[in-house]
Structure 1
Amino acid sequence: MTTFVDLAEKRRSIYALGTDSNYSKKDIENRIREVVKQVPSAFNSQTTRVVVLFDNANEKFWNHIYDVQQNVLEGDMWDMMSGIITGAKNGIGTVLFFEDKEAVEGMPAQGVRQEAYKQNNNANAQYAVWLALAEMDLGASLQHFNVGYEQGFDKGTKEMFHLPESYEMLAQMPFGSVEQQAGEKEHIDTDVQVKVFEN
């Protein structure tokens, strides 16, 4: 078993994905279920919803994203992001991260505080799942295509998989075998990131 710091270092954004894995789809599903269950949330509100896509469902989703985004992104941005979208189909699957608006509204918080708790809840799940995939020697990246509950941008995805209207999509995480390692990562000085006081 890796140490936590080793695992955190191993987790990188991987865009060149494949389908080679020592784990079955059921193994991956079960690990994601276990991890999401243990993720902390504000007031134990458990507002995060996760959808795991494999095979045809994964390809269908990314084809949909491609069709939508080619009418949204332009120029250099489209050139860069279209490759990420196409590459996402080459992996084993994708984890979609949602917040259930009904559950969010049930938290004992309103306004900006409710929004902050919602984002924190989902971010906890995103990072936990990403670490779990890394521990299984699977690469992944975090994407934010086709999000926008208020604008209805995620409506097509919800219709495609018959998901509740209350689901708000916050991110997508395509994953698979690591076909190309991430490059060197530069870090700012930890003294800039972390301050310590005793008095």
Structure 2
Amino acid sequence: MEALNMQNETLKLAAQRRSIYALGKNVTESQDEIASVIKEAVRVSPTAFNSQTTRAVITFGDSHDKVWDIVMETLRKAVPAESFAGTEAKINGFKAAYGTTLLFTEMDTIANLKENFALYADNFDDWSEQGIGLAMQNIWTVLAENKLGANVQHYNPLIDEAIHEAFGIPTSWRLRAQMPFGSIEAPAGDKDFMDDNDRFKVLK
């Protein structure tokens, strides 16, 4: 990154946020503390029309284990037995984490927005995805700031029905992502970046 005279603490934290796959349960923060910062990260994240369409279910303990048991059993039915060992190891890695945040979009709100603002109706699904992405980034970054690792998975829609049933999730909440988090048991590897000339234009 170029030298900046501007404040750049946010950029330093953004760079600290990485996909951590070696997660563990060696966490000193309380579950209430972790849940509090995750909730605040979602709360302060912007959404189109301040629609607040992002929902989060924060799981610990048996509930966290249940998430990954559901993923395991769902994939066991879909992945050939002879090639399931790799999938099983991967899922057990996520289950080894301390907790999981399930991220949802509240679809009734989007339906109402489409009806009330018909001129923009085609945009509200995209805008809700942007909103959930911003919330995800904020959750991920505040966890990294507190030396907790995380990664993001997308086993939806395969697991949607079972997750809704297991945790009593409202039917209007559409599952979009799963974020296991915990202690960092091994750091992320090096990260390469494409050439700026292929990615950016600065017009003056």
TM-score past 0.5 threshold: yes
Which whole-Å CA distance do the structure 2 matches of 1:194 and 1:66 have between them? 41
Change (3 A) 1:117 1:74: farther
Q: Which amino acid aligns with 1:15?
A: Y
The alpha carbon displacement at 1:123 in A equals 0.8
Question: Aligned residues, how many?
Answer: 192
Match of 2:133 in 1: 123
Deviations along 1:5-64, whole A, 9 cap, x unmatched?
211111111111111123111110110111111000011000010000000000011011
Deviations along 1:80-109, whole A, 9 cap, x unmatched?
443331111111100000001101112233
Using the TM superposition, name which of 185-194 and 39-48 deviates more: 185-194
**Unpaired runs of 5+ in structure 1?**
none
Report if aligned partners of 2:70, 2:159 keep a CA contact under 8 Å in 1. Answer: no
Change (3 A) 1:54 1:43: same
Match of 1:192 in 2: 198
- Percent identity, please: 33
Which whole-Å CA distance do the structure 1 matches of 2:159 and 2:148 have between them? 29
Match of 2:150 in 1: 140
The alpha carbon displacement at 1:71 in A equals 2.1
Report which of the two structures shows the higher radius of gyration computed on alpha carbons: 2
Q: Which amino acid aligns with 1:170?
A: R
- SS of the residue aligned with 1:49? strand
Report if aligned partners of 1:7, 1:134 keep a CA contact under 8 Å in 2. Answer: yes
Using the TM superposition, name which of 90-99 and 77-86 deviates more: 77-86
Match of 1:110 in 2: 121
The alpha carbon displacement at 1:75 in A equals 8.0
More helix by share: 2
Which whole-Å CA distance do the structure 1 matches of 2:46 and 2:201 have between them? 25
Which whole-Å CA distance do the structure 1 matches of 2:193 and 2:140 have between them? 20
Which whole-Å CA distance do the structure 2 matches of 1:83 and 1:44 have between them? 40
- Mapping of residues 145-184 of structure 1, within 5 Å: 145=155, 147-148=156-157, 153-184=159-190
Match of 2:4 in 1: none
Using the TM superposition, name which of 80-89 and 172-181 deviates more: 80-89
Q: Which amino acid aligns with 2:75?
A: Q
Report if aligned partners of 1:15, 1:84 keep a CA contact under 8 Å in 2. Answer: no
Please tell me whether residue 11 in structure 1 is matched to residue 17 in structure 2.
yes
- SS of the residue aligned with 1:126? helix
Out of 27, 32, 39, the position equivalent to 1:26 is 32
Report if aligned partners of 1:98, 1:167 keep a CA contact under 8 Å in 2. Answer: yes
Match of 1:47 in 2: 53
- Mapping of residues 59-98 of structure 1, within 5 Å: 59-74=65-80, 78-98=84-104
Using the TM superposition, name which of 69-78 and 90-99 deviates more: 69-78
Deviations along 1:109-146, whole A, 9 cap, x unmatched?
323x122112111111111111111111001001001x
- SS of the residue aligned with 1:134? helix
**Unpaired runs of 5+ in structure 2?**
1-7
Which whole-Å CA distance do the structure 1 matches of 2:174 and 2:55 have between them? 9
- SS of the residue aligned with 1:106? helix
